[in-house]
Every structure is written in structure tokens, then in C-alpha cells.
Structure 1
Amino acid sequence: MEMVIAGVAAATAGAICNPLEVVKIRMQLQGELKARGQYAVHYRNVFHAFYTIATKDGFFALQKGIFPFILYQFSANSVRLGLFQLANQNGLTRNKNGSVNASKTLFYATTSGALGGVACSPFYLVKTHLQSKANEVKIAVGHQHSHEGTFHAFYTIYKEFGFKGLWRGMSSMVPRIAMTSATQLTSFEVIHEFTKAQFPDRVWTPLCLASFGTGFFMTLGMAPFDVIATRFYNQGTDANGKGLLYRTAVDCAVKTFQKEGVRGFFKGWTACYFRLGPYVMLVMVIWDRLKFQHQEYLRNKMSIPDGVVSEAA
């Protein structure tokens, strides 16, 4: 049940934040393997990207890939958040006095994140292909795949490269999700514990402060891994399923640095934070409330003897 609750929380937040994911993907692919000044800038910043996509591709283009994005969020977070919650419930992330142990939290957050990366890889592959595809050729960035929709994408990839082809790019996803999980869950636990001590009589204030603080650390830590994953997944392939631009995730990182420098790893950083700030808050708030409601349900169920029906019923 813990895994389902975590998955539902993340999928709900993902559905709301999908337009920012589309913008982020386009900005990360813009100027791929080209030095500054050697490519056309279609998306100057987050707001310009929103405007450009909406006016050139159509308003609904901002919701491209929403279905696989929701599936990606559910599969990744039901595993990583669900497993982390189980570790947390069993006291594996805390000291003997009940306080947060940063090193233990980091270990379980990273491990659960890596496993989540394996589970979500096919959905991330499809959502990246769909979100990078522009209706208007003039604003296209990165490799443009010919998928007509989610099911067509899965069918095409499977038909060409088999079941294994759906996990192409996973080597870049595992470190990305592991880093995301490590920074998110560790920073959230530490910041949330601190803010609860500052605002002992409030529930929402510590939750919101911890969420937005976590969003900053997540974006800072995962940005390079996110750029690499986006490009590695989105690249075109030859008849054997080999990438046309990058052999491995490391090769992608090296080529990006050689052509674009350190700045290349932080393309779309603002869009990434604008997505992760509210996303983390939504995930943590929804996850916290769902866990609370589930615990209340279990407590109420245990307090009512079998066969006894309340007068109110």
C-alpha cells in the first residue's frame, strides 16, 4: 500500500507539472553539442519557451507526453518513495533517539532511487521522444522521432528493437533517479525536521518550506544528470539500436562538456526548478496527506470490533 500511495502522489503532481517538463526538455536539447553562438535560439528562457511552443505548436503541445509522464512518475516513485517509506517506518533511516540520520537516509534514498530508475525507464524513453517532437519544424530541437502517440511509440520501439529496446538509455536513468532521490529525500527529511522544531504548532509551514528548499537542492544536484538522460534517451539510433551521437551516458557527458562546457549541463535549469519547486511540494503534501488518511483508516478499522456497526451507519 505504501508504494501505491507514493505512486499516486507523484503521478498527480506530475500531471499538473507536465507543461514545465515539455519546456525543460526542449531547452535541454537546444544547441545540442554546439558551442554558444553556433545555433539558433528558439527558446530564450522559460517564459519565452512557453509562449513559443503555445503559439507555434499549439497550446495543447504543452501537454505532450502527459500519459507516459504520469506512468513514469508512478513507476519511479512507487518504487523509490515506497521503499524509502518502508525503511523509514522500520527506523532504518534514524538514530536511536529517533532523529534523522543523514548518512543512513542518503543510503536508502539512493538505493531506492536506483531501483526506481530501472522500473521507469521505458516510460521516460517514450515521454522524452514525444515531448521533444515539435509540430513546427522551425522550432524543432534535438532528434525528431516519428511517433504518433504513446501506444504507437511503444509499439514502434518494440517492433524495431524488441523488449530490450524499451530499456535503451537506462544507464543514464539510474544515476539520475539515484541522485534525485538522494538529494530530495535527504534534504527534505533534514529541512523538515529543522522547520518543525521552529514551527511546532504548524503543519503546512514546515512542509512547504522543506519542499521548496528541497526543490532547489534537487535541481542543483540532478541538473547535469537530467541533461545527459534527456539527450541520451532522445538521440536517434541505427538499425542495430545503437545511438547515433552517444555510445554511453559517460560518452554523452564527455561530448557535452567538450562542445558546450559546464554551462551545457545546466541548460533548462530554471525550467527544471520551476517544475521541481511546486512538484516537490505537491508530491510531499499529497504523499503526507495520503499516508495520514491511510493511517487514520487503519486506526479506525482496528478500533472497531468485527461485527459491530456504529449507530451513525
Structure 2
Amino acid sequence: MELMLGGVAAVGAGFFSNPLEVVKIRMQLQGELQAKGNYSVHYKNVFHAAYTIGARDGLVALQKGLVPALWYQWVMNGTRLGLYHLGDELGLTRNKDGHTNVFRSAAVASAAGIVAGVVGSPLFLVKTQLQSRANDSSIAVGQQHKHTRMIPAFREIYRKFGVLGFWRGTTGSLPRLVVASAVQIPTFEKTLELVKSKNLFKEGSFMNPFCASMIAGLFVSFAMAPFDLMSTRFYNQGVDANGRGLLYKNLLDCGVKIYKKEGPRGFFKGWTANYFRLGPHTLLSLVFWEQLRFYYHEYELEHPKLAKWSLHH
């Protein structure tokens, strides 16, 4: 049930944050491996990027890749949040006194993030490629893939590279997921614990997870920005006939090339879009998750027999 609750929460958040994901990816790919001043700046900032995409590609383009994005949220975050909760239930994240231990919590969250990242990688691959594709070639950035929908994209990848082709780029995304999970969930749990201990709001109030989510979103957006950019570059790059990347061999090679060509600031391209996306997404997903858990536990208390039946069916 925790897997399902986590997945539903992430899907709800993903619907609202997907336009910012599209903007973020376009900004991260802009000027790929080019020094500042040597490329056209189509997207000046997050607001200009959103306006440009809407004006040139159409408003619907701001929801590109929505289907695989929502499936990815369901699979990845459902697995990640669900596994973390299971670890919490087993006492792996807490001290003997029952309080959250930051280091143990981060370790459990990172492990859950790795598993979830591997499971959801094919959906992330297709999502990234669909979101990076511009309808108007004059604002295109990065590698432009031909597929325009999820199922045809999977078919094309399978036809060219087989089953293993679905997991291309996974090694580039794992550090991103480890950092995001290690920072996001423990920060949220610890802050939520603190907010509740101060009795600022009543039990079950929306404001408890709201305050905790705002802090968690701030920390995770800063910590994962470079890893998120490299992950986007990894998944979107073109490949040769054998499925090997044309630009980056591995994560280290990716990092070195970005540093040499784009400088340290290159790692933070799209950081503002990432923050505006992660803030609301972290807020919505964790708030939805906390509220769904609260209402489900209320349901269990009121209908113990039905709740027990639902766990086994």
C-alpha cells in the first residue's frame, strides 16, 4: 500500500511540475559543450524559456513527455518512497529513542533511490528525449530525436538496440538519484518531526508537511543541480550503431568535458528552472504522500477489516 500511496502522490505532483521539467531540460541542453558567447541563447531564463516554448512550439508543448513522465513518477517515486517507508517501519532510519537519524535515514533513502532509478530508467530515457524535442527547429537545443510519443519511442529503441537499450544512461542518473534521495527524504522527515514537536499546527494539518517540504525542496535543488544536468545530457545524447554515446563515454568523461568547455557555471545551467520545478514538485509529492498516508491510516482505524483485505488483494 505504501508503494501505491507514494506513486499516487508523485503522479499528482508530476502533472503540475512537468512544464517546468520541459523548461529545465531545454535550458540544460542549451550551449552543450560550447563556451559562453559561441552559441545562440534561445532561453534566457526560466520565464523567458516558458514563454518561448509556448509561443514557438505551442502551449501544449509545455506538457511534452507527460505520459512517460507520469509513469516514471509512479514507478520511480512509488518505489523510492515505498521502500523508504518499509525501511522506516523496520527501524532502519531511527535511533533507539525512536527519532530520525540523519545518516541512517540518508543511507536508506539512497539505497531506495538506486533501486527506483534502475526500475524507472527506461521511462526517464523516453521522457527526456520527448521533452528535449522542439517543434520549431529555430529553438532546438541538444540532440533532436525523431519520436514524438512514448510507445513509438520504445519500439524504435528496442528495434535499434534491443532490451538493454532501454537502460542507456542509467549510470549517469544514479548519482543524481542518490543525492536527491539522500537529501530530500531525510530533510523532509527531520523537518516534519521538528515542526510537529513545536505543535505549531494540529495533527494532520496540511501546514506540517507544507513547511517541511519547502525546506526539503531548497536543499535538494541545490545539491542535485550538477548531477541532474549531467543526467539530462547522458540520456539525450546521440548514439552510434552500437548504442555508445557520441558525446560522453561515462559520467567522469561528461563532467570533465562540461568543465573544460562550459566552465564551472556550466554545471548549473537551468538551475533556476530546476529550483522552480523541484520546489513545487517536492512540496506537492511529499504533501500528497503525507496526506494520503494520514487518511489511509484514518481509514484503517475506521474500517480495520476492509483495510486488512485491501493489503492482501
TM-score, structure 1 as length reference? 0.94
Aligned-partner Cα distance in 1 for 2:89–2:41 = 48
1:62 maps to 62
Cα deviations by residue, 1:216-262 (Å, 9 ceiling, x for unpaired): 11111111110000000000011111111011122111111111111
* Alignment-mate amino acid for residue 205 of structure 1: M
Note the 1:116-195 alignment, pairs <5 A.
116-195=116-195
Match of 2:218 among 196, 211, 216: 216
Once the two structures are overlaid, the 10-residue window that deviates more, 13-22 or 205-214, is 205-214
Count residues in correspondence. Answer: 305
Question: Do 1:23 and 1:271's aligned partners in 2 also have CA atoms closer than 8 Å?
Answer: yes
Cα deviations by residue, 1:168-203 (Å, 9 ceiling, x for unpaired): 000011111111111101111122222223344333
Question: Do 1:199 and 1:205's aligned partners in 2 also have CA atoms closer than 8 Å?
Answer: no
2:86 maps to 86
2:233 maps to 231
2:10 maps to 10
Q: Which stretches in structure 2 are left out of the alignment for 5+ residues?
A: 309-313
Aligned-partner Cα distance in 2 for 1:303–1:39 = 64
Task: Note the C-alpha offset of 1:303.
Answer: 7.2
Question: Do 2:209 and 2:290's aligned partners in 1 also have CA atoms closer than 8 Å?
Answer: no
Aligned-partner Cα distance in 2 for 1:69–1:177 = 16
Q: Which stretches in structure 1 are left out of the alignment for 5+ residues?
A: 307-313
* Alignment-mate amino acid for residue 88 of structure 2: N
Cα deviations by residue, 1:129-165 (Å, 9 ceiling, x for unpaired): 0000001111000000000311111100011000000
1:71 maps to 71
Note the 1:227-266 alignment, pairs <5 A.
227-266=229-268
Give secondary structure in 2 for the equivalent of 1:146: coil
Cα deviations by residue, 1:273-302 (Å, 9 ceiling, x for unpaired): 111111111111111111122212222223
Task: Note the C-alpha offset of 1:206.
Answer: 2.9
Q: Which runs of 4+ in 1 moved over 4 A?
A: none
Cα deviations by residue, 1:48-73 (Å, 9 ceiling, x for unpaired): 00110000011100010000001111
1:310 maps to none
Higher relative contact order (CA closer than 8 Å, sequence separation 6+): 2
2:304 maps to 302
- Relative to structure 1, the CA distance from residue 298 to residue 234 in structure 2 (aligned partners, 3 Å threshold; closer, same or farther) is same
Cα deviations by residue, 1:67-88 (Å, 9 ceiling, x for unpaired): 0001111111111100001111
Once the two structures are overlaid, the 10-residue window that deviates more, 88-97 or 115-124, is 88-97
Aligned-partner Cα distance in 2 for 1:161–1:239 = 8
Give secondary structure in 2 for the equivalent of 1:166: helix
Question: Do 1:199 and 1:206's aligned partners in 2 also have CA atoms closer than 8 Å?
Answer: no
Aligned-partner Cα distance in 2 for 1:215–1:227 = 17
Question: Do 1:256 and 1:264's aligned partners in 2 also have CA atoms closer than 8 Å?
Answer: yes
Question: Do 1:115 and 1:174's aligned partners in 2 also have CA atoms closer than 8 Å?
Answer: no
2:311 maps to none
Aligned-partner Cα distance in 1 for 2:90–2:249 = 41
1:201 maps to 201
Aligned-partner Cα distance in 2 for 1:13–1:197 = 27
Question: Do 1:7 and 1:78's aligned partners in 2 also have CA atoms closer than 8 Å?
Answer: yes
Structure whose CA Rg is larger: 1
Once the two structures are overlaid, the 10-residue window that deviates more, 290-299 or 62-71, is 290-299
- Relative to structure 1, the CA distance from residue 92 to residue 57 in structure 2 (aligned partners, 3 Å threshold; closer, same or farther) is same
* Alignment-mate amino acid for residue 34 of structure 2: K
Aligned-partner Cα distance in 1 for 2:28–2:63 = 17
2:271 maps to 269
2:102 maps to 102
Question: Do 1:172 and 1:232's aligned partners in 2 also have CA atoms closer than 8 Å?
Answer: yes
